[in-house]
Amino acid sequence: MNRPTKDELNEFVNALQLSIDTKIVGFKQAPDASVIIKLAEGASKDRNLKKFASMVGGFFQQSDRVLRIPNASTIEWQKLTSFLYVTRLTKSNVKIISGIKSRYDFFVEKDAAVQSSFVIDSIRNAADRVFAIVEERKMTMRTLAEKSGLTQTSLSKFKAGGDIRLSSLIKIANALGVRLKIE
Amino acid sequence: MTHLPRTILAIKKLLDGGTELPLATKNYPSRGQTAVQKLYQTKKGKLFLKRSSEQNHIDCRIDPKVGSIAEREYWAYRLARAIGLRVPELALMDHHTTVQVWLDIPDGHLYKMSQGIMEFSAENIFNCAIFDWLTGQVDRHDANYLYDYVHYEVVPIDSAHAFLKYEGDLPDYLHLFEIGDAVELPKKRNTALKKNLSSVTDDQMRELVPLRDEGEARALLARKYDLRSVRSIQDIITLFRRSAR
């Protein structure tokens, strides 16, 4: 990865400004490759600014109202900009993004407010979790069957606690747009 | 959730006490044919001010004497609220200026390009399509609606290019829905919005949308009558297609 180009930095600052409450009064790249963002008054009380700083490993210097993002060359700036445009750092948006297949995993995982992942330790537990998502999405069994390619009967068996193949569980996860992670 | 104060004076006061955020809109896609676009951070949240010029009206072939761009956007907002469609709260400040609440969700284009496929609620699409047909919307491209991916809803914005004598164009979201969800297209729907619309009398419609051109006013009522026979999303698509012939 490289340092952000002038255009990338411009667009990133626009996206950041849309996502925080404090006015950005200036920005620049320092010779040490860090990005420095100068903010107006009120920055210390800006929740989204704090959230953003921790997300990118930045730190806010209260004395001169500056947000410093070190190691700019390690950040995928275009992806970060898209993440900000899409979520505006609001909790509900980030929560949904964390549960679907997105390309923003890195930033989502850094957001402590979002804890939507869960451990499956039994078939019963898997069924409960899966169908909680189905209910949350107001999805019918028929829609889930259509999207996953499984029959409504096999889905009903799974919902009742019946065993399920890993391949079927993957199909359901894909239909719901959620990820299965084995650690 | 941010709400606009009830009076223009109070909105002006809120903007005066707020901070303009020029960097937020510098690279942001154009929100309609608008000469001035300013985003403000106020104590009640972000507010977006738009002011259109004479040239904007020429570009849109809209005669401001019979209904300026700002007025048309405001009338569309009033109509949407009256029938129960979710749109950002908006106020008409003067003949050419509107102020609206800024919603923290991406537009359709942004979502498609930076995240991926949009999933739609059929009921919401049906309602938006009714609104766009009714208003004769000619500019519902993918940056003229927001996409709320938490509720799978389209939120129409920049609805100013509307209420003309001719009929509208097939909205972008409807085109996407037609391709992606064939099963839902012919299903009969009778949403609260459709019921609300059917209870709006012609006189109430003229009061909500006080068009000063008789031809435009008649066209609006004609489009309202078209919707009486609409039962499905497919029916609305057919209306758009017939009008394009």
Q: How would DSSP label each residue in B42-62?
A: ETTEEEEEEE--HHHHHHHT-
What residue numbers bound the domain in which A14 lies?
6-89
pLDDT by 10s per residue, chain B, length 245:
789 998 999 999 999 999 999 988 876 665 556 788 999 999 999 999 999 999 999 988 999 999 999 999 999 999 999 999 999 999 999 999 999 999 999 999 999 999 989 999 999 999 999 999 999 999 999 999 999 999 999 999 999 999 999 888 899 999 999 999 999 999 999 999 999 999 999 999 999 999 999 999 999 999 999 999 999 999 999 999 988 75
Q: What percent of chain B has pLDDT over 90?
A: 85
- Whether A112 is in a domain gets the answer no
Do residues B41 and B123 share a domain? no
Total-model pTM: 0.82
Do residues A15 and A81 share a domain? yes
Residue B41 backbone dihedrals phi, psi, to 5 degrees = -95, 115
Do residues B140 and B97 share a domain? no
What are the DSSP E strand ranges found in chain A? 24-29, 35-39, 59-61, 66-69
Do residues A127 and A85 share a domain? no
| Tally of domains in chain A | 2
Final residue of a structural domain among A89, A112, A137:
A89
Final residue of a structural domain among A73, A89, A105:
A89
Kindly provide the ipTM of the predicted complex, given to two decimals. Answer: 0.89
Residues in A closer than 8 angstroms to B183, CB to CB, are: 146
Cβ pair B28:A88 closer than 8 A:
no
Q: Which residue of B has its CA nearest to A136?
A: B151
- Whether A117 is in a domain gets the answer no
Per-window interface: A 41-60 vs B, CB < 8 A: none
- Whether A165 is in a domain gets the answer yes
Beta carbons of B55 and B73 less than 8 angstroms apart:
no
- Do strands A24-29 and A35-39 pair parallel, antiparallel, or not at all (unpaired)? antiparallel
Final residue of a structural domain among B101, B121, B151:
B101
Final residue of a structural domain among B101, B123, B152:
B101
Beta carbons of B135 and B192 less than 8 angstroms apart:
no
Do residues B97 and B18 share a domain? yes
Do residues B236 and B181 share a domain? yes
Do residues B143 and B81 share a domain? no
Do residues B112 and B47 share a domain? no
Cβ pair B23:A24 closer than 8 A:
yes
- Whether A109 is in a domain gets the answer no
Beta carbons of A37 and A66 less than 8 angstroms apart:
yes
Q: What is the mean pLDDT of chain A?
A: 86
- Whether B69 is in a domain gets the answer yes
Do residues B93 and B115 share a domain? no
Instruction: Express the helix, strand and coil content of chain B in percent, nearest 5 each.
Output: 45, 15, 40
Task: Specify the pLDDT at position B24.
Answer: 86
Do residues B85 and B143 share a domain? no
What residue numbers bound the domain in which B67 lies?
8-101
Final residue of a structural domain among A89, A114, A142:
A89
- Whether B3 is in a domain gets the answer no
**A interface mutation test: which of B20, B44, B102, B114 has the most A CBs within 10 A?**
B114
